[in-house]
Structure formats: structure tokens, C-alpha cells
């Protein structure tokens, strides 16, 4: 039977070359831009992917209506128009293209810096009005001045490189900037208050979060050097606009260059008309090169995900490169089965989770493996959980998760062990690949090698004569056929387990009879 091609809806303007990429990869594409929300809600259920810029709003209603949606892609950096929590809850990957317009945005920040430092906007308007006010526009030289970066990620680093080329000194405040990276970039890492007091120019290059909202507040601006220039080509809302207006009027802030505003489109704003303000209508990514780059990047990313399971630049799930996906696939299968088994052993609430990786698997990207394990582990408790939502759900519930890695596996090339704490006790099982097939290789620290049969009977018992005969007799009386049978024990007469593959499920009355057999401690029927 022929597999249906994935379908992608392009809801905002994208380069024709992006459409060509989708179609060349075997993906069906519909281009329907300018849709009203009711129109989008009516058709979105037929698509596997949704590609947008900033015009289309992928809110909770759209996400709920997208019953087949697997991925939402944003051609650009900002994802304010996508409800990421809603997408995560439904298992949809949300990805952006953070690098396609980085150079363009950084160049615009530098352009705003020059424009603000030399009052180019006002000088242009005055000159074209025939005034020739040469003595009115006294600018400042950027040579040897100190540029303070708030945020030194991809775009901030490019701005730093350009500024160093202008012979400026660059300092940076970024909690995620490592000392080694700072040295490599040629910038000095400083704390926020030090940046405010030292910088002649402050540029912002950080996303808008609860932590960064109004990071340049009235209090922060008051601490800044008199005559500072402020440039924001990142996100609206990073600067208290009313406070900045007051500082521009008082002269404490000498000039400002803004490309982004708290409310957009900014038809009116408290900053408009302020002295020495240069304003542009969110042009940071508005070059032909950038628009082409982000569209092509998005088409490749979405195609790789829909066809190969590769995840790039995702905002709500671990990344998996196209090269990693084939190598990870058998381990995802293994850990998903292990998680499903372990999750059905959680009888008294999930109190903690530990995942151990041993051997060659530690050389792979294990974050997707952990996400897959958590999803299958939690599914008996939360049926709607998925690989995308599982890590955040576990975190929200406050359940501890510990991961460990050992490059050596004593028996197998790679081994994965899952431990779950339930009712105050730990339950442990491990799996490995044998000739590419997933196997159960350890339960409660006892070694064996069992298949992941669709129906498994798990019995924990004391190793005493007669147990196997009693078990076989009971199953025979219930007309339950045994497909596989695996045993393990700690010591003769000590703790033991049996994992039995069954062709029929075990009715509850038969399970109760099994629990009542001599030497039986625990019984569980596991469905995989």
C-alpha cells in the first residue's frame, strides 16, 4: 500500500524556491496566504505541517483544529504568533530559523547605531527641506567607545565582530555566555550593573521573556552613563519606552535607534517624536537575502522532520540531525519499549525516574531517547502525553529525573537502564540491542535475555521447587498459550523473576489465582 505524502500548508509568503524544495523532497504543498481565521480552522486538519512567518497566528484554536499537524515552522526567529505550550501538549514540534537572518539583523543594528550617533534621520529631513543646518547636528565618534551588548548569542556575536572592526571596545552581559566563548569573540563578560555604568552604547540582542521584559527599566536607565546611545533591533518590550522617552528629553540618553516596539504595528508610540530618535518599522530581517535564507532553511528543516524524523532548531523538543536519525531509531524503539514496561510497573505513583546509558549509545544524542522514554513511561498515567510534552510535564509535576552515562558496558555494546520509584521502592529493568533487535536483558538486577512480546506476564517470586510447574498448570487451565519463557534469579532459593510471553491476555480472576500461588510476590501483565 502506497504511503500518503506529507502535506504542508504555507500560510504566509515564502520564496518560490522554498516551495520547490518541499516538492522536490516529495512533500505536497498548498500555498494559501492571507487566510481569515475561520478559513484556516476549516482546512488545517488536512495538513501534517504548517509554515508561517509572522502574519498567521497559530493559536490554541488553530492547533486544536490541526488534528494531523506534526510540525509548525516559523520562517524567522520570533515565535510570538505560535502558542508553543498548546503545540507541545499536542505533540507538535515548533521550529524556527534563527540563523537565516542573523547577519541582516546584526547589520541593521549597526546601521541604527550609526544613524543615532550621527542623527542621520533628522539631518536627512532637514537637508531635503533646504535648511542646511550644519551646526545643528553634532554627532559622536564611535572609535574607541565602549559598546555594551545585552545578549551575546548569534546576532550579538556578529554585532560584536562588526563593532570590534570599528575599533570599539565590547563588553557583554549574558548569563549563558561562557568565559571561553567571550575570549574567542574578543569581548569582556560583565555583570549587568557594570555594563550600564561603562557602556557608551547599549545594544539589545535577547529574546523577550519574563526575565528580560523591560530589562532597561527606568531604574536601569538611571544607572546608565549620561549621553548613552540605546539601540534595540531585537524585540519590543525589552525597554521601558515611557522611561526612555523621558531620558531622551532630559538628555541623559543622547540618542536611540529602535526597530521594534512593544505594540506592533506601531502606528503610534510614546517614543515617536522624541528628540534624537531613529525609528524603523521592524526591518531587521528585511533584506532579499534574509527572506530567501529563512524560507529555504525552513523548507529543508520541515522536510527533514516529516520524511526522516530529524529535528532542527526546535523550541520544544530535542534536536535530531538527519545524520543522527537512522542511528537513533533502533535505540528509540528499545527505550520506548523499556519505558512502556516500566510505566506499567508504577502502581503507587511516579516518585522519581533514573535513566542510565552505557557503552556506545553514550556517543549519540541521548536527549531524544530520554524524551521517548519519559513519554512511554508516563503514558499509563497520562494517556495524552507524547515525546514533545513529556519532559515539561514531568518537570511541572516536580518529579526528579536523573540521567547518568558510562562509556563502558560490561556485557553489551550498548545498554539502557530505567529505574522508577513508586510506593517508596525502586523498580529497575534494562534493555539492549541484539543483532538490531530490542531485548530485555535485566530486571531487578537479574540478568536474562527476553523478547518484548506484545503481552508479557511478569512474576517476581522466591526461587522454590514447584513454582514453574504451578505457573504452567495455571496457564494451561486458563487456556493461555505460552510464546516465550525466561527465568532469572539472584541466588538459589532467593529472589527470582519470570517473564512469560503470552498469546492471550490473562483475565483478572486468573491473575488473582496466580498471586495466591506459593512463593509469588508480585504479578503484572504488561501490554506493549
Alpha carbon distance 325, 308 (integer Å): 7
8 Å CB contact between 372 and 394:
no
DSSP reduced 3-state for 148: strand
497 bridge partner residues:
460, 488
Examine the residue annotation and report whether 235 is marked as an active-site residue of this protein.
yes
Alpha carbon distance 299, 74 (integer Å): 10
DSSP H/E element including 295: helix 288-308
Considering 133, 219, 264, 323, which one is annotated as catalytic? Answer: 264
Considering 205, 235, 245, 417, which one is annotated as catalytic? Answer: 235
Alpha carbon distance 392, 387 (integer Å): 10
Q: Is 270 left (phi over 0), alpha (psi -120 to 50) or beta?
A: alpha
Considering 282, 379, 417, 427, which one is annotated as catalytic? Answer: 282
Examine the residue annotation and report whether 264 is marked as an active-site residue of this protein.
yes
Secondary structure in 3-state letters for 355-407 = EEEEEHHHHCCCHHHHHHHHHHHHCCCCCCCCCCCHHHHHHHCCCCEEEEEEC
8 Å CB contact between 499 and 486:
yes
Tabulate helix, strand, coil % of the chain (nearest 5). Answer: 35, 25, 40
- Joined together, the cell numbers standing for residue 183 give 575570549
Active site residues: 235, 264, 282
Amino acid at each position: 500500500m502506497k504511503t500518503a505524502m506529507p502535506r504542508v500548508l504555507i500560510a504566509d509568503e515564502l520564496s518560490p524556491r522554498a516551495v520547490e524544495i518541499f516538492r522536490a523532497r516529495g512533500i505536497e504543498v498548498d500555498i494559501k496566504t492571507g487566510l481569515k481565521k475561520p478559513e484556516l480552522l476549516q482546512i488545517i486538519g488536512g495538513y501534517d505541517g504548517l509554515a508561517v512567518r509572522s502574519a498567521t497566528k497559530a493559536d490554541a484554536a488553530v492547533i486544536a483544529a490541526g488534528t494531523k499537524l506534526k510540525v509548525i515552522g516559523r520562517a524567522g526567529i520570533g515565535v510570538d504568533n505560535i502558542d508553543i505550550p498548546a503545540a507541545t501538549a499536542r505533540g507538535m514540534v515548533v521550529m524556527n530559523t534563527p540563523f537565516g537572518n542573523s547577519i541582516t539583523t546584526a547589520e541593521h543594528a549597526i546601521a541604527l547605531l550609526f544613524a543615532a550617533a550621527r542623527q542621520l534621520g533628522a539631518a536627512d529631513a532637514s537637508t531635503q527641506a533646504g535648511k542646511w543646518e550644519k551646526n545643528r547636528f553634532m554627532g559622536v565618534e564611535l572609535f574607541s567607545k565602549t559598546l555594551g551588548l545585552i545578549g551575546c548569542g548569534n546576532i550579538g556575536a556578529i554585532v560584536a565582530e562588526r563593532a570590534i572592526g570599528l575599533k570599539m571596545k565590547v563588553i557583554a552581559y549574558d548569563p549563558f555566555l561562557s568565559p571561553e566563548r567571550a575570549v574567542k569573540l574578543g569581548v569582556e563578560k560583565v555583570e549587568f550593573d557594570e555594563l550600564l555604568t561603562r557602556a557608551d552604547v547599549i545594544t539589545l540582542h535577547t529574546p523577550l521573556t519574563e526575565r528580560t521584559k523591560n530589562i532597561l527599566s527606568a531604574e536601569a536607565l538611571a544607572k546608565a552613563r549620561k549621553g548613552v546611545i540605546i539601540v534595540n533591533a531585537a524585540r519590543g518590550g525589552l525597554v521601558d519606552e515611557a522611561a526612555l522617552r523621558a531620558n531622551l528629553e532630559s538628555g541623559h540618553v543622547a540618542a536611540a535607534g529602535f526597530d521594534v516596539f512593544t505594540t506592533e504595528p506601531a502606528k503610534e508610540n510614546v517614543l515617536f517624536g522624541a528628540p534624537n530618535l531613529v525609528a524603523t518599522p521592524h526591518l531587521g530581517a528585511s533584506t532579499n537575502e534574509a527572506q530567501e535564507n529563512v524560507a529555504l532553511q525552513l523548507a529543508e528543516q520541515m522536510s527533514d522532520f516529516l520524511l526522516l524524523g530529524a529535528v532542527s532548531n526546535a523550541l520544544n523538543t530535542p534536536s535530531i540531525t538527519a545524520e543522527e536519525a537512522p542511528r537513533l531509531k533502533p535505540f528509540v524503539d528499545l527505550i520506548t519499549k523499556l519505558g512502556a514496561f516500566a510505566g506499567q510497573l508504577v502502581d503507587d505513583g511516579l516518585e522519581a525516574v533514573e535513566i542510565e546509558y552505557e557503552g556506545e549509545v553514550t556517543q549519540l544524542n541521548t536527549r531524544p531517547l530520554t524524551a521517548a522514554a519519559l513519554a512511554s513511561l508516563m503514558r499509563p498515567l497520562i494517556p495524552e502525553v507524547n515525546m514533545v510534552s513529556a519532559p515539561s510535564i514531568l518537570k511541572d509535576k516536580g518529579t526528579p529525573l536523573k540521567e547518568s552515562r558510562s562509556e563502558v558496558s560490561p556485557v553489551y555494546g550498548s545498554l539502557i537502564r530505567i529505574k522508577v520509584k513508586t510506593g517508596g521502592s525502586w523498580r529497575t529493568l534494562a534493555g539492549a540491542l541484539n543483532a538490531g533487535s530490542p531485548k530485555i536483558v535485566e530486571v531487578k538486577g537479574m540478568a536474562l535475555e527476553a523478547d518484548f512480546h506484545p503481552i508479557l506476564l511478569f512474576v517476581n517470586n522466591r526461587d522454590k521447587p514447584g513454582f514453574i510447574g504451578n505457573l504452567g498448570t495455571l496457564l494451561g487451565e486458563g487456556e493461555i498459550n505460552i510464546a516465550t519463557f525466561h527465568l532469572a534469579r539472584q541466588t538459589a532459593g532467593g529472589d527470582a523473576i519470570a517473564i512469560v510471553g503470552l498469546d492471550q491476555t490473562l483475565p483478572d480472576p486468573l491473575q488473582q489465582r496466580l498471586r495466591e500461588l506459593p512463593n509469588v510476590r508480585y504479578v503484572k501483565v504488561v501490554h506493549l
